[in-house]
């Protein structure tokens, strides 16, 4: 199943992650399921053409595939997935390689909307570059 990451609109196709080429909102067709307008969420460029993720007013999602000349190639299913850059999905070992216990605690609290110590979060944020270099993941807290 293809999934579109909430917030970033990155597209996951199996293990592959595609960053959006454009986040233009256009009416791109009609929903097969409810016949309301489909509005584009994000455009993607691949070796073989273009892909457009779109959503109708009733939250039906679809991934439309086109070739390089914008000839329609077919539709695929699409679902929204939760944002992956939060820390709740990361292992403790990864986090502890870069952040202190207090920083991790306050990043978690911030992510969950709980009270946190601002200074710990600032300190943690100053290490995001290092974390990204180590693990290839950009945190977003």
What are the start-end ranges of the E strands in 57-131?
61-67, 72-76, 78-81
How many residues would you count in the chain?
A: 141
Q: CA 123: distance to chain centroid?
A: 25
The nearest distance, CB 61 to Zn ion, in angstroms, is 9
Measured from each CB, the residue nearest to Zn ion is 31
Q: Which is nearer to Zn ion, 60 or 127 (CB)?
A: 60
Least Å distance between CB 31 and Zn ion?
3
CB atoms under 10 Å from CB of 6, counted, come to 12
Nearer CB in complex with Zn ion: 58/125:
58
What minimum distance in Å lies between the beta carbon of 30 and Zn ion? 8
> CA 72, 20, 32: angle at the middle one, nearest 5?
40
Would you tell me which residues interact with Zn ion (CB under 5 A)? 31, 33-34, 56, 58, 60
Nearer to Zn ion, 39 or 85 (CB): 39
């Amino acid at each position: 199943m293809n999934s579109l990451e909430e917030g970033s609109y990155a597209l996951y196709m199996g293990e592959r992650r595609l960053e959006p080429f454009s986040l233009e909102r256009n009416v791109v067709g009609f929903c097969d399921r409810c016949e309301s307008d489909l509005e584009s969420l994000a455009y993607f460029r691949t070796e073989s053409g273009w892909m457009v993720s779109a959503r109708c007013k009733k939250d039906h999602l679809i991934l439309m595939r086109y070739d390089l000349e914008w000839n329609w190639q077919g539709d695929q299913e699409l679902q929204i997935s939760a944002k992956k850059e939060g820390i709740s999905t990361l292992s403790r070992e990864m986090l502890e390689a870069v952040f202190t216990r207090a920083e991790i605690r306050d990043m978690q609290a911030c992510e969950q909307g709980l009270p946190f110590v601002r200074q710990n979060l600032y300190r943690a944020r100053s290490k995001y570059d290092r974390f990204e270099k180590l693990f290839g993941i950009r945190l977003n807290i």
